[in-house]
Structure 1
């Protein structure tokens, strides 16, 4: 719960500090500019708010790891929701408006998470999780998108180190194996999810795991 708050606050602060011109730069998400990524974060914040006020009375079906669906095909931009995000982001025109909306909805999501009972069962996408597991899953979401935000904006502050460290452990559980110790936490997240191709030495270090990449999370 605490790490959810830290990673989310850091991501929102990094967005808030961005000069307007940086919103037109590419992000680490294939086919998305920084403004598209920030618009997606607004939708993420809405999802958090919706889920935390959608209690479930049935048994838990998923945890922070099994919450994630894993594919192997990188985004093509053809997905209707991905395309909608691009259109919504363009409609803001002024990056200041997008910053304001993320600050408004994002801070509300942060407050809701802070007030949530970790053991409360919530429902989302036909899954039932505890609120604690649901918010833990989002640590990986926030961390990956923080790396996406700074991918082509090196002046922006990166995620707090605890975010990549926890996210690496989660990704290793999703993959069912550990990544080489020679990989930094951020390198694991970028290479494993297909955000960058492994270098030759990294491919060699990955061994048989290299042929299983990428792990595309959804």
Structure 2
């Protein structure tokens, strides 16, 4: 629960500190500008609110790790991927996106803080505890924080503890441990295909290199 709050607060604070011109820079998500990514974060925050307000009586079907699935790399044909840039452009001014993320994002953060970790919630046709759901989102927030600052060298990076937690989660999901020589950031960016490993890194990765990228869905 603390890691959820820490990662989400850090991500929202970084968005709040962006300059208007930063919104037109590319993000680490292929084909999306920073403004598109911020718009996606608004929808993510809405998902958190919806899920925490959707109680379930059934036994949990997934946990914080099995909530995520490894899927094929995106082809660019997903209608939602095309919708996001249009929604982001409709905001017009960056301050409106900032305001909406702060408004909905603050509510999502408060809802997470008030949630009973043992309560069961439903989302994506699955049931899991609220605590596991929020732990799963630490990986989402951390990866998107890295996406946000991919081309913004002076912007704050994700907190060290959330990077470590996100790496551990990715390794469990993929069933593969990254070499100790890889920093948490290197493991996350390389592991999810956001960065192409160098020849030297491929040598260190060994057989793992052939399995990359690990795309989450």
TM-score by length of 1: 0.98
For 2:37, the equivalent position in structure 1 comes to 37
CA contact (8 A) 1:72 1:213 kept: no
Aligned pairs for 1:169-188 within 5 A: 169-188=168-187
SS of equivalent to 1:123: strand
RMSD over aligned CA atoms reads 0.7
The match for 1:62 is 62
For structure 2, list consecutive stretches of 5 or more residues without a partner in the other structure.
Answer: none
Shift of residue 71, structure 1, vs aligned partner: 1.5
| TM-score, normalising length: structure 2 | 0.99
Q: Within 5 Å, which residues of 2 pair with 1:9-158?
A: 9-73=9-73, 75-158=74-157
After superposing on structure 2, the runs of 4+ consecutive aligned residues of structure 1 that deviate more than 6 Å are: none
Cα contact 1:64–1:136 (8 A) shared by 2: yes
Using the alignment, how far apart are the partners of 1:68 and 1:82 within structure 2? 19
Matched positions, count = 217
Deviation at 1:151, TM superposition (A): 0.2
Deviations 1:140-161 (A, max 9, x none): 0000000000000111111111
User: Can you give the 5+ residue segments of structure 1 that lack an aligned partner in the other structure?
Assistant: none
Q: What's the secondary structure of 1:128's corresponding residue?
A: strand
